[in-house]
């Protein structure tokens, strides 16, 4: 039985144009094909595991020819890396938007960012599995990309800490490694939840993640006062 062509509905994060004949210019068609292949890669990796995915799995799901695949990607690895970069960029952009949105205070914005992160992963179980689990077995370059992503998450938390100290001067500075440690703690919580319960219920972790992050970023005592004040 043929696999269902991958689409934005499948991945929940990549924007994909539909297949079929239409009047779109060739660059638009090419971009649509690329997006479908990236979505198909995420879907295939989540279903079969990175080690067991072949180019054939991607082109079948994307509804493109092998020639079309190799016009844009050198091999399976390059397609996966492109899919990883594209989906992570979109995820981080969504979190940035939540952090920068007009909110009563930095804590409200931070909570919204955490909820955005979890909601996005919950809406795309395939992406969640590829991002958190399968990337670990995708080779040295994938691990390097993952490390860069962790640093980008850490930078977002550093900004949260900076804003918190602006509002509450008594919050002490923390060493730079604290932000990466906070990212690691969240990653462990989320990965364990995905493995044991699936991605769909990730929003249930929002309270626990905010609790861990606040304890590391502002201290347990201040965190408890903030939570109590928020009700």
Asked if pLDDT for residue 40 goes beyond 90, the answer is: yes
Of residues 226 and 57, which shows the higher confidence score? 57
Rounded CA-CA distance 3/61 in Å is: 5
Interior angle at CA 177, CA 181 and CA 196, nearest 5? 10
Residues of the chain with CATH 1.10.357.10: 77-230
Asked if pLDDT for residue 86 goes beyond 90, the answer is: yes
* The predicted structure's pLDDT at residue 112: 92
> What does the pLDDT look like over 4-24, one tens digit per residue?
445 444 455 554 444 555 556
Does domain 77-230 fall under CATH 1.10.357.10? My reply is: yes
Confidence of residue 65 (pLDDT cuts 50, 70, 90): very high
Q: What is the mean pLDDT of residues 136-154?
A: 95
Q: What is the mean pLDDT of residues 187-210?
A: 96
Q: What is the dotted CATH code of the domain comprising 8-74?
A: 1.10.10
Residues of the chain with CATH 1.10.10: 8-74
Q: What is the mean pLDDT of residues 118-124?
A: 95
Of residues 14 and 132, which shows the higher confidence score? 132
Q: What is the mean pLDDT of residues 40-55?
A: 96
Q: What is the mean pLDDT of residues 157-173?
A: 91
* The predicted structure's pLDDT at residue 55: 97
* The predicted structure's pLDDT at residue 220: 80
Of residues 26 and 126, which shows the higher confidence score? 126
């Amino acid at each position: 039985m043929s696999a269902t062509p991958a689409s934005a509905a499948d991945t929940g994060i990549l924007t994909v144009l539909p297949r079929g004949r239409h009047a779109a210019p060739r660059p638009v068609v090419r971009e649509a094909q690329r997006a479908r292949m990236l979505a198909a890669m995420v879907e295939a990796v989540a279903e079969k595991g990175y080690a067991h995915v072949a180019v054939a799995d991607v082109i079948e799901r994307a509804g493109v020819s092998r020639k079309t695949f190799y016009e844009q990607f050198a091999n399976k690895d390059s397609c996966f890396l492109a899919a990883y970069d594209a989906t992570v960029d979109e995820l981080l952009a969504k979190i940035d938007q939540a952090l920068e949105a007009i909110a009563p205070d930095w804590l409200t914005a931070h909570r919204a960012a955490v909820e955005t992160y979890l909601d996005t992963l919950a809406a795309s179980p395939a992406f969640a599995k590829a991002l958190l689990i399968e990337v670990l077995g995708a080779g040295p370059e994938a691990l390097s990309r993952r490390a860069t992503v962790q640093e980008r998450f850490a930078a977002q938390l550093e900004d949260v800490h900076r804003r918190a100290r602006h509002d509450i001067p008594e919050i002490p500075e923390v060493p730079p490694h604290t932000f990466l440690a906070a990212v690691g703690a969240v990653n462990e919580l989320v990965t364990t939840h995905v493995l044991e319960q699936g991605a769909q219920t990730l929003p249930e972790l929002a309270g626990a993640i905010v609790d861990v992050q606040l304890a590391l970023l502002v201290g347990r005592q201040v965190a408890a006062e903030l939570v109590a004040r928020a009700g």
